[in-house]
Structure 1
Amino acid sequence: MRTNRTTLAGFLLAASLLFPALAAARPNEYPAVKNVEVKGYVGERISDCIARRVKGQDVNELVEPFRHRTESRLWQSEFWGKWMLGAISSYEYTHDWELYEKISEAASLLMETQSPDGYIGNYSPEHQLQEWDVWGRKYTALGLLAWYDLSGDRRALKAARRLIDHLMTQVGEGKTDIVATGNYRGMASSSILEAA
C-alpha cells in the first residue's frame, strides 16, 4: 500500500511540474509535418512507404476513372484525393523535388478531366449524387485545395471552386437534399461539409 502511495505521489509531482510547462508552451498545437523527422525502425518504415507506395504510384492510374464517367456505384474517385493528401504530407516531410513533380503532374492530369459545368468525377450523368459520387468529389476538392496550399497553383483553386459550384447546382434548398444522396442516409455525402 505504501509503495502505491509513493508511486502515485511521484506521478502527481512529475505531472504538476511537466503539464503546466507543456500547456504554456503551445496549447493545442502540434508541430507541422515539415518540422518532424521520425528516426529508427518507424522512420525507416515511413521512408519505405513514401519511396515505394507514394512515389511508386502511377498517377495516370488514379486519374483514369475520371476520364470515362461510366460509374454507377463504386468509389474509385476517392483514391486520387486520398493519394494527393498523403503525397503532399510526404513531400512536406521529405522535401523531395521528384515527389513534388509527381504531385504537380497528378493535379494537372486531374484538372484536365473537369467538364465545362465544373464536374470532376467518374459517375455517369444519370448516376451523379448516387452511391459514392459526392464522397469522391469531397476528396477531389480536398486534394485540389491541398495542392493549391502547397504550390499556389491558382488553377487548382479555380477547379475546386467550380467543382463545388457544380455540386451546389444539384443539392440544397429547392434541389436534392444532400442527406438523400449517396449511402448511409447521406452520411458519406454530408462529410463534404468538413469543418475548417
Structure 2
Amino acid sequence: MKKLSILVADDHMLLRQAWRIVLNSQPEIEVVGEANNGKEVVEKALLLKPDIVLMDIGLPLMDGITATLHITQKLPQVKVLGLSAYTQPSYARKMIQVGAAGYLTKNVTALEMIKAIEEIKNGRKYICNEIKENLSQQVFSEADDQPNINCLSHRELEIVELIRDGLSSKEIADKLFITPKTAEAHRYNILRKLKMKNTAALVNFINSQAQFV
C-alpha cells in the first residue's frame, strides 16, 4: 500500500524535525522532503509532487500564502495544509482563499494534526479547533456590538415610535407632556444606547425592527 507522502515547510529546523518524527510515526505516512523557505518549498513540490504540503505561513524569501498559491495553481492535485503561529481566523481565511485545504495553529496536538491530514486526504477541508473557537468568539463579540432595541426603557420606546412618525422634539414634548429639553435628552440617550450617529440612521434601524413594523 502506497504511503501518503508529505513535504514539510518551516524555517525552524527543530520544528521540521519534530513534525517529521510525529508524521513518520504513522505507518501510512512518509515525510519525503523538507524546505526552509517559500521558494524552496515550491521547487520541491514541483520535483517531489507530494500528496500533502505542510506549509508554515511565515516563511522567508516567499511567504507561505504566496507559496501555497503557486503550488495550488501548478499542482492542483497537491493538497496544502497551512500551519502557523497565527491564531486569527483571518489568516486561515487567506490560506483557504489561495487554495489550501486546511489550516492548523502551532498549538495543535499531534493527534489533531494527524486527524487534519486524514480529512484532507479524503477530500475534505479542515480548520483546527482553536481557529473555530476564536471565530465563534469573534462572531459573538460582533453580535454584542450590534444595536439592541431591548436596551431602551419604556419611555424611550415611546419616543422611538414618535421619532419614526416624524415628530420633532417639541412635538414629542407636547404629546408626552414633557419639556422639549427632556425630549432632546431622551433622543440623545436613544442614539447613544443604539450607537447611532443621527436621527436618519435611527429611523432606518427602527424600520428594520419587527416590533415597529
TM-score w.r.t. length of structure 1: 0.28
Q: Which has the higher contact order (CA 8 A, sep 6+)?
A: 1
Give the structure with higher Rg (CA). Answer: 2
Greater helix content: 1
Q: Which has the higher strand share?
A: 2
Question: TM-score when scaled to structure 2?
Answer: 0.26
